[in-house]
Amino acid sequence: MESDGASGSPRLGMLDRARPYLAMILLQFGYAGMNIITMVALNQGMSHYTLVVYRHIVATVIISPFAIIMERRVRPKMTFSIFIKILVLGLLEPVIDQNLYYTAMKYTSATFTAAMCNILPALTFVMAWILRLEKVNLRRAPGLAKVVGTVVTVTGAMVMTLYKGPILEMVWSRGTNHGAPKSSDVVKQDWVRGSLMITVGSFCWSCFIILQTFTLRTYPAELSLTALICLAAAVEGAVVALAMERGNTAIWAIGWNMKLLASIYGGIICSGIAYFVQGVIMRMRGPVFVTSFGPLTMIIVAILGSFILAEEITLGRLLGAVIIVCGLYLVVWGKSKEHIVSSPLIGERRISAEPSPATIGLSKTSSSRFVTIDLSTPEIEANSGEH
């Protein structure tokens, strides 16, 4: 019996260490699917203001029952400070970022918006550094790699914005008329304006991730926080929609089409599940780790976009994408090397509140009293009351 336990533990340890990576990779596939579905829905005339509202109504309805049942004993009391943070969280990413993102998608393309969002890890890194959530030692290679990677990432985003270059013909897109599907939307194309919108939206998304990190310290109930953020976003998004589309009641009409699919898919996958998974992984590995997987979304969207939406891939976008991936690789490499030497700041900090039972699926339970917080260094453990 002992030999079985000994042989199984390394396998379990490897699986536990891989869970944050697998969770974030699967999440990028979810984001990529949302990009494609949203682009189709917007092309069919759906208002992005309406999409934001419906998406978060769906997320609230789906997540709330789980939050009420699974976190009824560990949910902290609501305070005025937490309430204000939830309102700001609901405004930053769900309302401001998503509306800017969807508008930018109309001005550019699904592939371009996904690629430009790769500046998010760089923005998050800089903000985490300023707020001392991320350590940087320029005298060591890992610290220098993170700084250089941040600069390279921003450079890649600028290349994608300012340089277009010739159209590249892919194997699967040969013989496809890229211009035909967009002929009616040519007048709407504005790459510079779209790029600025994505940049501002990414800054708001970065602020959302940082604020979510701080909020989870005083309100460590991921499902409840997710439900409250989505509820706040639905209300605030409705106010914005009514103000921006006043008198236009037709935008609220929805049927059995891509508009409904975009609302349901976005609400369940990209709002409900995404906010929850982000919160759990952030408590394990920190905010920079969460944002380091963006390039995967860009690659998936580029392939799917050329297949489904007949989007063109130009030399400038390909060059910028390669530069962005190289920069992000430097950031992730530097962070991983620092993580081996010492636990990240988020992992070292003990939180006095009890863990949410919903996080157990992504954390290693070694006994009834102990829960491993840092999956890459399983020897660092905290009492379950300090998760």
123-138 pLDDT tens trace: 888 898 888 887 778 8
| More confident call, 82 vs 326 | 82
The strand ranges marked E within 190-315 are 313-314
8 Å CB contact between 114 and 306: no
* Range scoring the smallest mean pLDDT among 10-19, 104-113, 203-212, 282-291: 10-19
247 phi and psi, to 5 degrees?
85, -10
* pLDDT over 80 (residue 363): no
The strand ranges marked E within the chain are 167-168, 313-314, 364-365, 370-372, 381-383
pLDDT over 70, % of the chain? 78
- Give the Cβ contact number of residue 56 at 10 Å: 29
Rounded CA-CA distance 300/221 in Å is 32
The tokens describing 49, both together, are 């203001």
Residue corresponding to tokens 């636990």: 343
pTM of the model: 0.75
The tokens describing 66, both together, are 């789980």
Helix 48-70 vs helix 98-107: crossing angle, to nearest 10: 140
∠ CA 67-68-70, nearest 5°, is 65
Q: Residue 75 — pLDDT band, cuts 50, 70, 90?
A: very high
